[in-house]
Amino acid sequence: MATISAASLAFAGVEVSHWAARALFSGALGSSLCAVFTLHILGVYAEGVPDNVIGAGLQSEVNESSVTLYLLACTLAAPAVIGAWATFLVLAGLIAFIYTTESKVMGFQLVAFVPIGLSLVTVVMTLGVAEFMWRKSFRVAKKPNAWISR
């Protein structure tokens, strides 16, 4: 994502595009670099630590730490959340860039926006199906022995 963000700042004509497009591309670059940095830090801290020690630490059997399962989940999800945010910023920057570009070619914006629009519809449909499956899994999980295959 950092490469895509940096490359988007090198688009031909980006220097004369609307300031919002350049700001969104720059924000995406900074966010994706932070996500990469966070992943490296988590990798360094987790190096060589057995799973049972992490589990025992969360249950306060190894030390009297104030680390909770919620805090751990947020920490481990942070790189993915930052990466998703950077992706959104690149998309928003691209839309602003296309919208504010004064192209001499007729239909430039139409040809550029159609794939983006179709992709956004696909993302929304995917999220809808995933939400449906997630909710259904909880209804199934409430039944006794729901996860045991017969």
- The predicted model scores a pTM of 0.66
130 within 8 A of 123, measured Cβ to Cβ: no
DSSP assignment letter at 4: H
Question: Which of the listed residues 63, 82, 102 is the one where a domain comes to its end?
Answer: 102
Question: Which of the listed residues 102, 122, 137 is the one where a domain comes to its end?
Answer: 102
Residues (pLDDT < 70) of the chain are 1-2, 5, 9, 54-70, 141, 143-150
17 Cβ contact partners less than 8 Å away, ≥ 6 residues apart: 11, 96, 97, 100, 101
Residues 138 and 91 in one domain: no
Number of separate domains in the chain:
2
Residues 51 and 110 in one domain: no
Residues 34 and 98 in one domain: yes
Q: What is the pLDDT of residue 62?
A: 43
Given its phi and psi angles, is residue 40 left (phi above 0), alpha (psi -120 to 50 degrees) or beta?
alpha
Residues 96 and 41 in one domain: yes
Residues 9 and 28 in one domain: yes
Domain that holds residue 6: 2-102
